[in-house]
Amino acid sequence: MPSPSDKRISPPLVDLPIRTASKGFYDGFSREVTIPAKVIVSLLIMWAIFFPVSANETLTAANSTIISTFSGWYVYLVAFLMSACVVLAVIPQSGRLRIGMADEKPEFGRLSWFAMLFGAGIGIGVLTYSTGEPLAHFSNNPDIIRGLVASQSAEAVRSAYIYTFLHWGFAAWGTYALVGLSIGYVAYRRGLPLTIRSALAPLFGKAMSGPFGHLVDIVAVVATILGVAVTMGLGVEQFVAGLARLGLGDWLLDPDGSSSLPAVVLALVILVGASTLSALSGVGKGLKWLSNLNLGLSALLLLIFAIFGSLIFGLKTLGLGIFDYIRTLVPNTLTLFSKDAPFGAELVKWQLDWSVFYWAWWIAFAPFVGMFIARISRGRTIREYIFGVMLVPSLVCFVWMALVGGTAIDLELSGAAGGSIVNAEMSDQLFATLAVLLSPAFAQIAAGLIVILLLTYLVTSADSAILIVNTINGAGETEGDRRHHIIFWGAALAFVVGSMLVLGGIDAIRITMIIGALPFSFVLAAMGVGVVKAVMFDLIRKKQGVPTTSAAVADDVTAPQDTAR
C-alpha cells in the first residue's frame, strides 16, 4: 500500500481569471483595483494639502507607534526573505528551474538587464546616500554609541561601512529578488497574470480571483506610489541642490538650506513630465534607452572619483568593508536592539532611524521593483536570477559607496574639507565633495553631470513605477490604451511628493511610506512562503512525472489542476 508521501500531486493552477472592463474609460483594467487605489492616493494628497496641521500631527503619532511596535517584524521579515532566496538558489534542483518554459531564452542581454536592475532599483538613493550614509555612520553608529570607537575618527571608518553595506546590500536586493521571483515564476511557468496577487495563488488558489486578490493588488499599488515617493523626494531635493550649485539662483533654496516651493514645483514638472512621456513609449523603448544612459553616466561619474578622488583609500575601504559585511551579516541582520541594554535608548533610536526605515523602504519599493524585475527577467534560471539580482547590484552599490563616500571621508580625515562636507545637508554632500576635490570650473562640470544623471534616474524610476502600477491595475496586461491612466499616476506621484515635501520635507514622505509599507509587509511574507511552496511542489511533480508548466498542463488534459498550489 503506498504511503501518503507517494500520493501523486495534481498539476499546478494555470488559470487565475481576473475580471476587467471590456469598454469605457477603464477598458482593460480591473475597476475593483484601479478605482479604490486612485481614491486612496487622491485622499492622501487632499489630506496633506488641505489639512496640513492635522496630517503632520497624525503622521508623527502614527510613525512612532508603528515603528516601535513593528520594528522586530521588519527586521526578521527581511532576514527570512534573504534566506529564502539563498536557499532556492543554492539547492541544485530548484536553482536549475527556469522562470519560464524549459527552452525559453532571456529577452534582454545581461548588460541591459543589469542596467535596468540598477536604474529602476536604487540609483537615485545611491546618488543621495553615496556620501550621506558613510558620513552619517562615520559620525554616529552602534560602535560609536557604545564607546568602542571615536566619532569621525579613522577607527570609525570600518564600522561606518559595515552598516552602510548592511543597508544597501543583500537586504534590499534579496527583498526585490523574492518579489520578482514569486511573481515571475507563476506568471511565466504557469501562465498566471503578471500581478501581485498571482504570487499568492500557490497558497490560496482561485480565491485570489476575488475580493481578497483585489485587496492585495490595491495594497501593492498604494505601497508602490509611497515607496517611489521617497526616492523621488530624495532625488528632487538633490536635483534642486545641484541646480543651486550650478548658479541658477538663490530662489532655489530657503534660508534653512531646504528646497523652496517654486523649486520643488519646477523640478516635479520637469521630472514627472519627462517620466510620463517615457512611460507612454513603453518598457522596450524609452526605459531601456534611459537605463543604458544611466549606466554610462554613472560609470563616467565613478571614473571621475577614481581618477581625482581617494582611489587607494576607497579600494582599501571596499575590501575591508566587504570582508566585515560578510563576517557580520548574520548577527547584524538578526540584531534587534532593546532599551533595557546598556546604551539601549540610543541604539534603539539609531536602528529605527536607519535599519528599520530602510527595511520599510525596501518593502514599500518591492512591488514596483519586484514587478519590474519579473518583467525583464523571463527566461532566466532561478540560480542565475537570484545571484544576478542579489550580487551584481549589491557589488555596484558597495563600489560606489566606497569610492565616492570614501573620498568624502578621506577629505574630512585629512582636514582638506574642514567640515564643509560632513556638515552640509545630505542632499548637498555629493556636490560639496566635488567642490573640495576639483577646481571650481571642473566642479561645475561634474555637478552638471550629476544633475543630468539625477534627471535620468528620476525619470527611469517614475517611468517604471507608472508602468508597473498600470500593469497591476490591468490584471497583469501591458497592452491596450493606457495613456489616460499613465497621465493620472504621473500627476498623482508628483502631487504626493510635492505635498509631502511642503508638509514636512523628506521626513513626512518617509513617515507616510513606513505606514504604507506595513500592510504590504504581510503580503510579502505570504509571497515568500508561496514561492518556496511552489518551487518545492514543482520539484516533487517533476519526480512524479506530473506537468509543472501551463503548456505541459494543457497537453495533459487528463489531470485536474490543484487549485491551491
Output the CA torsion 252→256→258→264 (10° steps). Answer: -50
Averaged pLDDT, 307-335: 95
Is residue 481 pLDDT above 60, yes or no?
no
Q: Are 431 and 450 spatial neighbours (Cβ–Cβ below 8 Å)? A: yes
Place of cell 550621506: 132
The string of pLDDT tens digits covering residues 111-130 is 778 777 765 556 667 787 88
Q: How confident is the model at residue 257 (pLDDT cuts 50, 70, 90)?
A: confident
Give the torsion sign (CA, 226, 230, 233, 235). negative
266 located within any domain: no
Give residue 123's pLDDT.
66
pLDDT in tens, 527-547: 999 999 999 999 999 898 888
pTM, to two decimals: 0.89
Higher pLDDT, 19 or 258: 19
Secondary structure (DSSP) of 231-278: HHHHHHHHHHHHHHHTT--GGGB-TTSSBPHHHHHHHHHHHHHHHHHH
Residues 213, 203: Cα–Cα separation, whole Å: 12
Beta bridge partners of 135: none
* Residue 500 belongs to a domain: no
* C-alpha dihedral (121, 127, 129, 130), degrees to nearest 10: 110
Domain assignment of residue 417, yes or no: no
| Helix and strand totals (H; E) in the chain | 21, 0
Residue type, 93: Q
- 408 neighbors 421 (Cβ within 8 angstroms): yes
pLDDT attached to residue 457? 79
pLDDT of the residue at 233:
83
- Would you say residue 547 lies in a domain? yes
Q: How far is 373 from 18, CA to CA, in rounded Å?
A: 22
In a domain, 278, yes or no: no
Question: Mapping DSSP to helix (H, G, I), strand (E, B) and coil, where does residue 552 land?
Answer: helix
Provide DSSP, 384-437.
HHHHHHHHHHHHHHHHHIIIIIHHHHHHHHTTSSTTTTTTS-GGGHHHHHHHHH
Name the percent of the chain lying above pLDDT 70: 91
Q: What is the pLDDT of residues 181-228, one digit of tens each?
A: 999 999 999 999 989 999 999 999 999 999 999 999 999 999 888 888
- What's the full length of the chain, in residues? 565
- 27, part of any domain: no
Say what the pLDDT of residue 282 is. 55
**Cell numbers representing residue 211 in the block:** 475580493
What residue numbers bound the domain in which 112 lies? 51-233+283-411+505-555
Confidence (pLDDT) at 486: 83
Percent residues over pLDDT 90 in the chain? 47
User: What's the pLDDT at 503?
Assistant: 72
* Predicted pLDDT of residue 88: 95
**What's CA 391's distance to the chain center, in Å?**
15
* Mean of all residue pLDDT scores within the chain: 86
Total structural domains within the chain: 1
Residues ≥6 apart with Cβ < 8 Å to 101: 188, 189, 549, 551
Nearest in space to 401 (alpha carbons), one of 139, 146, 153, 138: 138
Predicted confidence (pLDDT) per residue in 547-564, tens digit: 888 877 766 655 566 655
Question: Which residue pairs from 100-109 have beta carbons closer than 8 angstroms and sit at least 24 positions apart in sequence?
Answer: 100/188, 100/189, 100/378, 100/379, 100/380, 101/188, 101/189, 101/549, 101/551, 102/549, 104/188, 104/378, 104/379, 105/379, 106/377, 106/378, 106/379, 106/380, 107/376, 107/378, 107/379, 108/288, 108/376
pLDDT digits (tens, 9 = 90+) for 418-445: 999 999 988 899 999 999 999 999 999 9
- Per-residue confidence (pLDDT) for residue 2, from 0 to 100: 43
Backbone region of residue 480 per phi and psi (left: phi > 0; alpha: psi in -120 to 50; beta: other values): left
**Of 2-16, 142-156, 226-240, highest mean pLDDT:** 142-156
All residues at 6 or more sequence positions from 97 whose CB lies less than 8 Å from its CB, including other chains: 185, 189, 381, 382, 535, 538, 539
Q: List the one residue out of 196, 129, 44, 57 whose CA is nearest residue 430.
A: 129
- Region 41-48 average pLDDT: 87
Paired with 204 in beta bridges are: none
- What is the per-residue burial (b if ≥16 Cβ within 10 Å, else e) of 5-29? eeeebbbbbbebebebeeeeebebb
Residue 267 has a CB neighbour count (10 Å cut-off) of 27
C-alpha cell at position 289: 534607452
Is 499 among the domain residues? no
The letter for the amino acid at 271 is L
Residue with cell 573620498: 407
Residue 320 lies in a domain: yes
Q: Which long-range contacts (CB under 8 A, 24 or more apart) does 108-113 make?
A: 108/288, 108/376, 110/388, 111/295, 112/288, 112/291, 112/292, 113/376, 113/377, 113/388
Which of 168-172, 217-221, 240-244, 463-467 is least confident?
463-467
Residue 122 main-chain phi, psi, to 5 deg: -135, 30
Least confident window among 78-92, 134-148, 296-310, 496-510: 496-510
How far, in Å, CA of 199 to CA of 180, rounded? 9
DSSP calls for 493-520: HHHHHHHHHHHHHHHHHHHHHHHHHHHH
